[in-house]
Structure 1
Amino acid sequence: MRTLLPFVKQYKKELILGPFFKLLEAVSELLLPLFMAKLIDQGIRSNNLTEVYHYAFIMLIMTLAGLACVMICQYYASVASQGFGTELREALYKKINQFSYKQLDDYGADTLVTRMTNDINQLQNALAMLIRLVIRAPFLSIGSVIMAFYIHPKTALIFLVTLPIFFLLLLVLMKKTIPLYKKAQAKTDELNRTLQENLMGIRVIRAFAQQSNQTKRVATNSDELAATSLSAIKISTLLNPLTTFIMNIAILLLLYFSGKEVNIGNLQQGEVVALVNYLMQMLLALIVVSNLVVIFTKAATSANRVTDILDLPIEEELGKRTHETIIDTHQPVVLSVDQLSFQYPNQNGWTLTDITFKANVNQTLGIIGATGSGKSSLVQLLPRFYEWQKGHIHLFNQDITSLNLDTLRHPIRLVPQKSSLLSGTIRSNLLFGKNDATEQDMWEALNIAQAKEFVEQLPEQLDAPVSEKGDNFSGGQKQRLAIARGLIAKPALLILDDSLSALDYKTDLQLRQALKQQLPNTTLIIISQRVHSIKQADHILVMDNGQIVGQGNHQTLLNDCATYQAIVASQEQTKEEASYE
């Protein structure tokens, strides 16, 4: 909870003034029954219109003053809760952006989305209720008892009998509902996970005609959430009717005993009305207290889930050493990997074993291997998306574990397997690769990526809209736009992780030739399962089961590497491919 205090402290004024004005409103509400009693006893019973008007005017003024206080309190509560929620959500998003790949894998997108939306909404609601009701409700409950004793101590004993009965009822209900609310939040995470998986994989689901099965899966998760929530609601809804029952019994007892007191002249009719009002105020305030317990219980669970994220060490702290260091890019060896071994967290066996290779300036390094051979895992270690267990990686002769992550990643651009474009425009996506890119830079990048022609044909050209994930473009167009975004900054090291797979042979060849000719200072790493895409590389790594089983150029590997020979043999050269050699 301490983690959240800095976000709350920014609203000290609202946290003080909001409850203060709500307290003033509660004072006016406590005094109203007393003035009503005087209006009845001194005005109506005596046929004294002056007294009736006098006390009616006082009650009107107090009502209007109470209304003004409520409005002021509501304003402060809204400012504080919305501001708190906005800043907390921004801080949470910023923290998630610093997550390592391991942390992202550990949590998953579904629970992170739930924590940024539902959990923060719960905390916002709790803060608003803290300002509006936390002082008012207990004050009204205690104040009603005090005012009842002020009017008639003997009859007010009924209040003291009613309180423990109500609290016993509240304790029993809370004991049953609190675990159910926690379970419901876990079920919400589960449902969000299932929905996200289905929405992201909807094409695969349709391709395998699994709509019915997945619909049943979503329905099952939804039914489990509904059942858990319904169980909690069924128990919670008992509170109001049972409280009303207790209140009605208490009112009957109050009327019975106060009637006797009226008959013997110890109590007046107006005071009986005031006592009934105070009894109702007390019990209704206690219902509010019980609802606050539910709200704060949910908020406590949400606070733990949010602080769990905020208290995690940032990605920088996960490394060994992260000093600010300037990279000297004027080195002949761009990348050096020495005896590198790596395994994913919570996974048995090594994903990569004893990987050693070098890449020089302006060299094209090809990496080929079967699916699951460790190609993508290898290149994800270069920007330190994951931490490895053995070996060393040097960038321009500097150990990358000694570099600040921003410093390390600045000269590197990785275009991943899945070409993910951001919703917006082509221009905004290119600016994502280089914030200060000019239009000339953009067209140059598009030209190298073989995307200029189709972008020029769009009515809006650079300002053409890009839908979520770039789904309004074909697979090949998305890959070329993603590559343009990666190379627009002219990085020292450009990594294409199977980013040419959707391109035809002619476009693939033209793109690689353009990269070589127009980015002379860029070292290129191409990962591919197609021999055609890497056969012209200066140096090729052949990977199998997380190991390098062959290194050299195309001809050397054809002579010496059985795995490479098998790959080449399985991809017999087509007429189309041969025509572009």
Structure 2
Amino acid sequence: MLKELSKSIREFKAASVKAPVFVSLEVVLECIIPFIIAQLVNEIKAGCGLGVIAGYGAVLIVMAGLSLACGAAAGAYAATASCGFARNLRKDMYYQIQTYSFENIDKFSTSSLVTRLTTDITNVQQAYMMIVRIAIRCPLMLVFSLVMAFIMGGKMAVIFALVVPVLGAGLFAIARLVMPLFRKGFKMYDNLNSSIQENVKGMRVVKSYVREEYEKQKFSGAAGDVCVQFTKAERILAFNNPLMQFCLYTVMVFVLFFGSYTIITTKGLALDVGQFSAMLTYSFQILSSLMMLSMVFVMITMANESAQRIVEVLREESSMKNPAEPVCEVKDGSIDFDGVSFKYSAKAQKMALADIDLHIRSGETIGIIGGTGSSKSSLIQLISRLYDATEGTVKVGGLDVRDYDLESLRNQVAVVLQKNVLFSGTIKENLRWGNQEAADEELIEACKLAQADEFISRFPNGYDTYIEQGGANVSGGQKQRLCIARALLKKPKILILDDSTSAVDTKTDMLIRQAFKTYIPETTKLIIAQRIASVQDADRIIVMDGGTIQAVGNHEELLKKSAIYREVYTSQNKGGEADEE
């Protein structure tokens, strides 16, 4: 895990090294200062002059100044290292997520990935800052102070050898109890973020159904679960403080009692006042180091689970990989399914698609009809390798899709999915997702084909109109047409519309299909639709049912031989027939 995380330090290695170096210098200076003060106290007790006191004072001022400068430098380098590390880690995670296939994304919920990119990385960042500064300072301070305590206090310093193991055993026991609680708590964080995301995204639906109170209760439940879980963990961690206080006061009572007793009974022969004052200072340094170590321990305990969740994302390898020698050119838009079966997960008991044999010629217009859950979308997602077939082979342009370079294949297979997504930005910026280099004339032509130019022209700012996040300021039909235009700008050999005209009226739907025939006759077009009218004039229509192909043919053929197609057609045309009667 540490090896994986350390890869994100990169250009901040120097700052990560300099911080501990300056911390070490700071600790050395802080440990020497009590020793010099002890010498000064003994000199004053012996009746030294003002010159000697001034000399010691000057040395102490210089050392204090150097210690302060080293501490400031250590803090600055620690901040640079931790913030830079977090930035690289966040970037590495985000870039890794971009390589994921749909199968990989299905393993992590969106809310979980958001939590890992935000809360978890913040926890690791804070822990890293402590590691490069406090986690270096405290052990060094502890060791140097213990050495100086034994030098200055002799046998009296044995108390530290007794207290430190007790404290260590206590902290270890706390860690074992609290780690599983934090692990469970971060999963609850994911559920909380999921509740927030779902509510905000569906706010219009929530308000239209007056379900605000229900959503509040659902959120309150998720937030309450997080609160209860982390309260359990924090209650256990709270024992850290009384344990530290017990060790602190035990040592202080012992040092004060035993030191004072020694000075009084031996008349200062075994322990003088200067040594005793230094011993008290070293006691404070040792115990403050232990206190800070306990803080580091708490932070690292919390960050450990976050680090494991981050590494899960970094280690997840995409199930979609380019072959050793990928083909970068798609010959044509022909599509072949040879004995294809597919399921979304290796654990799934039932195939989403079973025994698919289908051959589509380049330039054909193919309609796909089927009820909800008939796996129409599953079928087309295999063409652009959003998923890989579990069994059999999917070919595009005569070659197995797994032989192509992924980017080259997807540039030639444009898919407009059911859930149309527009990003915050202008209409032009959204359209250029299809082709970054597209000229304004090309944008307009694509929008005319998609029947989008008319409503865009009515906007005050035309193609420079700003689209709100998720396309909130355009209608469903307008959003669909913009997404179709964006796909056309790719100038693909295969165009797939996954129920992408469901929100437009039948006239507009017809105009879009006529434009496809006229302007992109060589492009293979696959149209998934619920309306028979949307696919009625297709070269062939595929009827799907339960993940299998039930029938293939043109409109007239299917009316004769497919009961499913005939039933759908009849149900959708009852109104028209009744009017004619």
**Deviations 1:117-145 (CA, angstroms, capped at 9, x unpaired):** 22222222222222112221111111111
The partner residue of 1:296 within 293, 300, 316 is 300
Q: Do the aligned residues in 2 keep the contact of 1:187 with 1:224 (CA within 8 Å)? A: yes
2:89 maps to what in 1?
A: 88
* Per-residue CA distance 1:470-493 (angstroms, 9 max, x = gap): 111111111111111111121111
Check whether the contact 2:330–2:408 (CA below 8 A) recurs between aligned residues. no
Aligned AA (1:335): I
Counterpart in the other structure of 1:359: 360
Residue correspondence of structure 1 range 102-181 to structure 2 within 5 A: 102-181=103-182
Q: What letter is aligned with 1:272?
A: F
Provide the residue aligned with 1:239 in structure 2: 240
Alpha-carbon separation, structure 2, partners of 1:108 and 1:139: 43
Q: What are the residue-to-residue correspondences of 1:469-480 with 2, within 5 Å? A: 469-480=470-481
State the partner residue of 2:336. Answer: 336
Letter in structure 1 aligned against 2:272: Q
Instruction: Name the structure 1 match of 2:249.
Output: 248
State yes or no: 1:507 paired with 2:504.
no
Please report how far the alpha carbon of residue 367 of structure 1 lies from its aligned counterpart in structure 2 after TM superposition. 0.6
Q: 1:53 to 1:241 in 2, by over 3 A?
A: farther
- Which is worse superposed, 470-479 or 557-566? 557-566
Task: State the SS of the aligned residue for 2:360.
Answer: strand
Contact 1:322–1:401 (8 Å) recurs in 2: no
Query: Structure 1 residues 414-423 or 108-117, which shifts more?
Result: 108-117
Moved more, 478-487 or 263-272: 263-272
Matched with 1:347 is: 348
Secondary structure (helix, strand or coil) at the match of 2:363 reads coil
Tell me, in whole angstroms, the C-alpha distance in 2 between the residues paired with 1:34 and 1:125. Answer: 34
TM alignment of 1:555-566, pairs within 5 A? 555-566=556-567
One of 323, 326, 331 as aligned partner of 1:324: 326
CA distance in 2, matches of 1:95, 1:512: 38
- Code of the aligned partner of 2:351: W
What's the % identity of the aligned pairs? Answer: 34
Provide the residue aligned with 1:306 in structure 2.
310
Tell me the residue number matched to 1:200: 201
**Residue type of the partner of 1:265?**
G
User: 3-state SS of the aligned residue for 1:365?
Assistant: strand
Q: CA deviation at 1:207?
A: 4.4
1: CA distance between counterparts of 2:177 and 2:416? Answer: 52
The residue aligned with 1:185 is 186
Q: What stretches of structure 2 of length at least 5 have no aligned partner? A: none
In 2, Cα distance between the equivalents of 1:405 and 1:499?
24
CA contact (8 A) 1:322 1:403 kept: no
SS of 2:379's equivalent?
helix
The farther-off stretch of 63-72 and 209-218 is 209-218
1:193/1:152 CA distance change after superposition, 3 Å: same
After the TM superposition, which of the residue ranges 390-399 and 5-14 deviates more from structure 2?
5-14
Can you list the C-alpha shifts for 1:398-449, whole angstroms capped at 9, x where unaligned?
A: 1212222222212100000011111122111111111111111111111111
| Closer, same or farther: CA 439–569 of 1 in aligned 2, 3 Å | same
1:573 positional shift: 6.4
Contact map agreement 2:100 2:320 (CA 8 A) in 1: no
Name the counterpart of 1:282. Answer: 286
Q: Deviations over 1:64-99 (max 9, x none)?
A: 211211222222222222222222222211211121
Paired residue secondary structure (2:320): helix
Contact 2:328 2:405 in 1 (8 A): no
Q: Do structure 1's residue 545 and structure 2's residue 546 form an aligned pair?
A: yes
For 1:142 and 1:472, locate their aligned partners in 2 and report how far apart those are by CA, in whole Å: 64
Shift of 1:47: 7.6
Greater displacement, 24-33 / 267-276: 267-276
Are the counterparts in 2 of residues 126 and 295 from structure 1 also a CA contact under 8 Å? yes
Give the distance between the partners of 2:26 and 2:64, measured in 1 at CA: 8
> SS in structure 1 opposite 2:9?
helix
> Quick one: distance in 2 between partners of 1:426 and 1:506?
24
Q: Partner of 1:349: helix, strand, or coil?
A: coil
Partner Cα separation in structure 2 for residue 154 and residue 349 of structure 1 = 75
Give the drift of 1:188: 1.5
1:47-73: CA deviations, max 9, x gaps? 844344333332222222112112222
CA shift in 2, pair 1:293/1:395, >3 Å: same
Q: Distance in 2 between matches of 1:58 and 1:275?
A: 20
Distance (whole Å) between structure 1 residues aligned to residue 201 and residue 496 of structure 2: 25
Letter paired with 1:297: T
**What's the counterpart of residue 269 of structure 1?**
273
Number of residues paired by the alignment? Answer: 574
| Residues 420, 480 of structure 2: 8 Å contact kept | yes
Give me the whole-angstrom Cα distance separating, in 1, the residues matched to 2:350 and 2:319: 25
1:220 Cα deviation from its structure 2 partner: 1.7
In 2, the alpha carbon distance for the partners of 1:104 and 1:12 equals: 32
Judged with a 3 Å threshold, the aligned counterparts in structure 2 of structure 1 residues 176 and 484 are, in CA distance, closer, same or farther, namely same
| Contact 1:421-1:468 within 8 A present in 2 as well | yes
Q: What is the rounded CA distance, in whole Å, between the counterparts of 1:179 and 1:344 in structure 2?
A: 31
Partner of 2:398: 397
Over the aligned positions, Cα root-mean-square deviation in angstroms equals 2.3
TM-score of the superposed pair, with normalisation by structure 2: 0.93
- Consecutive unaligned residues in structure 1, runs of 5 or more: none
* Contact 1:18-1:74 within 8 A present in 2 as well: yes
In structure 2, the partner of 1:498 is: 499
Could you tell me how far apart the structure 2 residues matched to 1:322 and 1:513 are? 41
1:384 aligns with 2:385: yes
> For the structure 1 residues 548 and 176, does the alpha-carbon distance in structure 2 shift closer, same or farther, using more than 3 Å as the test?
closer
After superposing the two structures, state which structure 1 stretch, 117-126 or 521-530, moved more. 117-126
Write the letter of the residue equivalent to 1:548.
I
- AA matched with 1:451: A
Q: Does the aligned pair in 2 maintain the 1:366–1:526 contact within 8 Å?
A: yes
Q: CA distance change for structure 1 residues 547 and 160 in 2, over 3 Å: closer, same or farther?
A: closer
Amino acid at match of 2:335: L
Give the whole-Å Cα distance in 2 for the aligned partners of 1:181 and 1:59.
46
**Alpha-carbon separation, structure 2, partners of 1:181 and 1:525:** 49
Contact 1:327 1:396 in 2 (8 A): no
CA contact (8 A) 1:44 1:52 kept: no
